Amino acid sequence: MHQFEPNEFIEKSIRGIRERVGNEVAIAAASGGVDSTTSALLGHRALGEKLTVVFLDDGLMRQGEPDAVLESYRALGLKTKLFNVSDDFFAALSRLSDAEEKRKAFRATFYSALSKIVREMEARFLIQGTIAADIVETKKGVKTQHNVLEQIGIDTAKTYGYHLVEPLRDLYKDQVRLVAKALGLSPDKISRRPFPGPGLSIRVIGEVTRELIDLVRKATAIVEEETEGLQCFQAFAVLTKDRATGLTKEGGRLYGNMVIIRVVDSINAMTASPNRVPWTQLDRMRSRILDEVPSVTRVLYDITPKPPATIEFE
Ligand code: XMP
């Protein structure tokens, strides 16, 4: 089999982006994750100042994320603009509880928001970090990944007014990381744990509200902090729709929230296995979640591999 050569890939994709975009203006949609950051960097190498990186704050990100991402992009020399569009997302997601409906509402809101920005900036191309695993899973009908459009017959030029450029569409996560390394991205960014495009909206099972997002955001931060030194692909918290009976500190009844901790090992997200997190670490996460998120009465650990489960719950 032909060995993957990141430098060869980088040169080829820079040439490809230049040919495709020509003298037009382009924007890159980026979230701080390794896929979108790598594709934005390729865009920057190809187009220089003609490229603006757009960061949509959808209100569904991890704790402190928008500010940290903006700062890191500026440090990388990327011309970046932040747009706060969280109201649009909460409005689009309100009263939806089916996982696929939520994903489709997220996708429509995301690309419509970008559509306005693209028009304002008179751009004609949108560079994004879709990778092969996203496309495979969406085409198989496993789940609608937010960033797969043309491959399932959505004409973005007609629907949203811009053409897509997807430099990483044939690569899997492990190859993207090699490209990121060759582009000089720092090790913490390269090994950054994946975070789904629809963010915390798919980590609250069922209907999404700002309150429930805040709850899962806190639990997620605890799981991430307590697994910092642990070698794993992804570590996060999920808030279930079900509740469980428990006790208040005063000994009364509390019909509270139920949080599931999920920590998995994987190479490319196509398969995954549950990480054997040491009990002391699980215990610390449980204790902090119960202390810091007082509406929670139960914390569970998910031991299901992919398949038959997927990594995310929705
Ligand atoms: P699943 O849940 O399908 O997830 O096993 C595989 C990997 O993809 C991430 N994921 C997404 N990433 N848009 C993305 O950019 C999405 O809609 C999306 N859904 C899941 C997930 O976190 C895991 O790393």
What does the pLDDT read at residue 249? 87
Q: Is 162 exposed, middle or buried (0-12, 13-18, 19+ CB in 10 A)?
A: buried
What does the pLDDT read at residue 1? 57
Pocket test for ligand 1, best of 89, 145, 200, 302 (most atoms within 8 A of CB): 145
Pocket test for ligand 1, best of 169, 312, 313, 314 (most atoms within 8 A of CB): 312
Average pLDDT over residues 225-249: 96
Distance of alpha carbon 291 from its chain centroid, rounded? 27
147 lines ligand 1 (CB under 6 A): yes
Specify the pTM: 0.95
The answer on pLDDT for 246 being more than 60 is: yes
What distance in Å separates the CA atoms of residue 59 and residue 112, rounded to the nearest whole number? 16
146 lines ligand 1 (CB under 6 A): yes
The answer on pLDDT for 79 being more than 70 is: yes
Q: Residues 191-222: pLDDT tens digits?
A: 999 999 999 999 999 999 999 999 999 999 99
Pocket test for ligand 1, best of 56, 60, 134 (most atoms within 8 A of CB): 134
How long, in residues, is the chain?
Answer: 314
Q: Residues 89-99: pLDDT tens digits?
A: 999 999 999 99
The one-letter amino acid code at 17 reads I
Q: Residues 263-275: pLDDT tens digits?
A: 999 999 999 999 9
Q: Which residue has the tokens 């899962």?
A: 216
The one-letter amino acid code at 222 reads I
Percent of the chain residues topping a pLDDT of 90:
98
Higher pLDDT, 273 or 137: 273
The answer on pLDDT for 278 being more than 90 is: yes
CA distances from 122 to 26, 33, 50, 114 (A): 9, 26, 11, 12
306 lines ligand 1 (CB under 6 A): yes
Nearest CA to ligand 1 atom 24: 194
CA distances from 204 to 98, 102, 240, 312 (A): 11, 11, 6, 11
311 lines ligand 1 (CB under 6 A): yes
R_g over Cα of the chain: 20
Q: Which residue has the tokens 């980026």?
A: 30
Average pLDDT over residues 299-303: 98
The answer on pLDDT for 26 being more than 60 is: yes
Question: Order of strands across the sheet with 51-57?
Answer: 80-84, 51-57, 26-29, 125-127, 163-165
- Kindly compute the dihedral angle of the four CA atoms of residues 7, 11, 12, 15, in this order, to the nearest 10 degrees: 170
Mean pLDDT, the chain, whole residue set: 96
Residue pair 39/166 in contact by the 8 Å Cβ criterion: yes
What distance in Å separates the CA atoms of residue 79 and residue 278, rounded to the nearest whole number? 42
Q: Residues 32-76: pLDDT tens digits?
A: 999 999 999 999 999 999 999 999 999 999 999 999 999 999 999
Average pLDDT over residues 233-260: 97
What does the pLDDT read at residue 2? 77
